[in-house]
Chains A and B, each alone.
Chain A
Amino acid sequence: MATMELTKPQKVADAIKPPVTSIGIIGWMRVNLFDGWFNSILSLIVLYLLSMTLPSFIKWAFINSSWFTTSDQCKAGSGACWSVITANIRFITFGFYPHQLQWRPLLAMIILVLLLFFSQNRKHWRKSLAYAWLLGLFSMGLLLKGGLGLEVVDSDNWGGLPLTLLLSVFGLTAAYPIGVMLALGRQSRMPIIKSFSVVYIELIRGVPLISMLFMSSVVFPLFLPEGVTLNKILRAQVAIILFTAAYIAEVVRGGLQGMNKGQYEAAESLGLNYFQAMRLIILPQALKIVIPPSMGILISAFKDTSLVVIIALYDLLKTTQTTLSDPKWMGFSAEAYFFVALVYFVCCYAMSNYSRRLEKELDTGH
């Protein structure tokens, strides 16, 4: 890059160098920080605030902090007590999963991350990847639950990061296709399908997720015949899927409405039937338009999985809170929440980064 910039002007005979004030650090500052009096004042104010807060934060978080100490040593120190994380990392990550078996959810998470990592590249979207996912899902389920010679772990003991990932990854991947179908249903000319979609979407959107989780855990079992129980995690999972799908549906509908009518007509006039036209022509374009808002919904749904605490599921946030209720580690909530926020941020940032990349890759210049 740097050499290109150097050689390019030389091609143009007698290229004049741009003035110092428009390149380099000075140029960057002029454009980005001191562009006009209003922006200059804002920049100065921000710089002042940063100078007031940043040094003390760095002192607290890094210089005076303790990383691998006991709680008593922490209380003696003046900085951040990251020991609350390091000392309890296994409980925060895995909850009440049996201690000696925690390699199993760890391995399951590694498999999941690897699969997600491979799936992000569109070149890998082949049949073999689908088989890899099937195999991965099976082994993840086996690792978490046990069986086939592995000790069985009841799902009541599942918790922490594996639970958060389970609820969000499968919640989101299942919600998206359902949402797309609902969006198509809402546009359908068939009255039954149309009104079902409309009622479903409006009903779900009119209810907070918390109440749906409550219903799934408290009300729904009342309707089941005696003796039949449905796994609590599964019920929460279904509630999250149904909830997210309604929001996805409305976003996708926006994309469908943004489509040029000519695209439908061109597809029809080639003799494509409805499903072919949707799958090959309309959805690829409409879904591309709605990548940014869809990702917004997926990100907020990911964060909303933390609401499952109210039905006593121990997701990442709940295990962290439980750690803090230990008298030894009380009072270090800032550090603990900082850590959880960081984990959530890393996941959300990866998602939004991916959406930006997809947008760029799918851009065909129209």
Chain B
Amino acid sequence: MNPQKAGQQNVDTMPIITIENMHKWYGEFHVLKDVNLTVSKGERIVICGPSGSGKSTLIRCINRLEEHQRGRIVVDGIELTNDLKNIEKIRTEVGMVFQHFNLFPHLTILENLTLGPIWVRKTPKKEAEQIAMYYLEKVRIAEQAKKFPGQLSGGQQQRVAIARSLCMKPNVMLFDEPTSALDPEMVKEVLDVMISLAQEGMTMLVVSHEMGFAKSVAHRVLFMDSGEILEENSPEEFFHHPQHERTKLFLSQILD
């Protein structure tokens, strides 16, 4: 593997997410078929694949926005079952960034960030605001703290959304196509934030077609098609020597 890759030394072998023989159906439709995946602490994984392949559904199962019907998902030692307490516990450990940001439009940027710490972590308001300002500085948007989401550009909103997740001090961050709803000129500012997050050793699962990002930060790239993980490899191998026919086809379509 490439030794220059940032933060790579942080990878240890302790699995933080284990998915075993996981299946999911939407009604009759088999969305995820026998998915097996182990993610180590500090590992960064990029998941790509054609639309409808189940990649978003996969990461949404990890924090129980979607329910799986068969198999096991264990996050940070806690198995995901119907137990609401466990689900809420896991959700505080797992941050999620959405394609459409999903900021709370009726709250200011600062309130968006302090909401989780105050209500879920029971952090005192003053302290929560300090945490929030720290992460807003980090995503370089502190001066907008008093504004409402509707007054920010898409790129700024997505950076706020990342900061909102970070305020909960998660162990894992899930990114569901974080740049695909953005205007092209705003993609970089969001990716830069994600790269600096990677450099600090955050465990990240990213559903994305940003191949540059995958090459520079990912330890592994997964290729999914029709509900299955077809191929799994280091970025170099994945992009230069794809094994599977469908992977080759997919890569030729997005890289042309």
Q: Does any Cβ of A come within 8 Å of B80's Cβ?
A: no
B104→A266 contact, CB < 8 A: yes
From A260, A276, A288, contact of B102 by CB (8 A)? A260
Q: Does any Cβ of A come within 8 Å of B103's Cβ?
A: yes
From A268, A280, A364, A366, contact of B115 by CB (8 A)? A280
Q: Does any Cβ of B come within 8 Å of A325's Cβ?
A: no
Q: A262-B100, A280-B115 are in contact. Are A285 and B106 (CB under 8 A)?
A: yes
Interface size in chain B (residues, C-beta < 8 A): 28
CB contact list, A256-272 vs B, under 8 A: 260, 262-263, 265-272
Q: A268-B91, A271-B92, A272-B116 are in contact. Are A366 and B102 (CB under 8 A)?
A: no
List the B side residues contacting A266 at CB < 8 Å. Answer: 96, 98, 102-104
B92→A265 contact, CB < 8 A: no
CB contact list, A141-196 vs B, under 8 A: none
A365→B65 contact, CB < 8 A: no
B98→A366 contact, CB < 8 A: no
CB contact list, A97-156 vs B, under 8 A: none
* Interface 9-residue window, one of B6-14, B69-77, B144-152, B220-228: B144-152
List the A side residues contacting B124 at CB < 8 Å. Answer: none
B106→A270 contact, CB < 8 A: no
Please report whether the interface of chain A is mostly helix, strand, loop or mixed according to DSSP.
helix
CB contact list, B97-149 vs A, under 8 A: 98, 100, 102-106, 115-116, 119-120, 148-149
Residue-wise interface mask of A (280-298) relative to B, using a CB-CB cutoff of 8 A (1 in contact, 0 not): 1100110010000000000
A263→B91 contact, CB < 8 A: no
List the A side residues contacting B84 at CB < 8 Å. Answer: 273
Q: Does any Cβ of B come within 8 Å of A362's Cβ?
A: yes
List the B side residues contacting A364 at CB < 8 Å. Answer: 105-106, 148-150
Distance in angstroms between the alpha carbons of A364 and B112 in the assembled complex = 13
Distance in angstroms between the alpha carbons of A205 and B97 in the assembled complex = 42
B148→A265 contact, CB < 8 A: no
List the A side residues contacting B119 at CB < 8 Å. Answer: 272, 276, 280
Total of A-B residue pairs, C-beta within 8 Å: 72
Distance in angstroms between the alpha carbons of A281 and B164 in the assembled complex = 14
Distance in angstroms between the alpha carbons of A260 and B105 in the assembled complex = 11
Q: Does any Cβ of A come within 8 Å of B237's Cβ?
A: no
B150→A269 contact, CB < 8 A: no
Q: A276-B119, A366-B150 are in contact. Are A270 and B168 (CB under 8 A)?
A: yes
Distance in angstroms between the alpha carbons of A324 and B71 in the assembled complex = 79
List the A side residues contacting B149 at CB < 8 Å. Answer: 364, 366
Q: Does any Cβ of A come within 8 Å of B200's Cβ?
A: no
Distance in angstroms between the alpha carbons of A12 and B249 in the assembled complex = 59
List the B side residues contacting A268 at CB < 8 Å. Answer: 63, 65, 91
CB contact list, A226-276 vs B, under 8 A: 260, 262-263, 265-273, 276
Closest B-chain residue to A288, C-beta based? B106
A265→B102 contact, CB < 8 A: yes
Q: Does any Cβ of A come within 8 Å of B95's Cβ?
A: yes
Q: A364-B148, A365-B150 are in contact. Are A272 and B106 (CB under 8 A)?
A: no
Distance in angstroms between the alpha carbons of A366 and B91 in the assembled complex = 27
List the A side residues contacting B168 at CB < 8 Å. Answer: 270-271
From A265, A270, A276, A285, contact of B105 by CB (8 A)? A285
B115→A265 contact, CB < 8 A: no
Q: Chain B's nearest CB lies how many Å from the CB of A135?
A: 29
Distance in angstroms between the alpha carbons of A272 and B92 in the assembled complex = 9
Distance in angstroms between the alpha carbons of A362 and B115 in the assembled complex = 19
Distance in angstroms between the alpha carbons of A268 and B89 in the assembled complex = 11
Distance in angstroms between the alpha carbons of A285 and B148 in the assembled complex = 14
Distance in angstroms between the alpha carbons of A362 and B107 in the assembled complex = 10
Distance in angstroms between the alpha carbons of A280 and B120 in the assembled complex = 12
Q: Chain A's nearest CB lies how many Å from the CB of B56?
A: 11
Given contacts A269-B91, A270-B120, A362-B106, 12 further A-B contacts (CB under 8 A): A266-B96, A266-B98, A268-B91, A270-B92, A270-B164, A280-B115, A285-B104, A288-B106, A364-B105, A364-B106, A365-B148, A366-B149
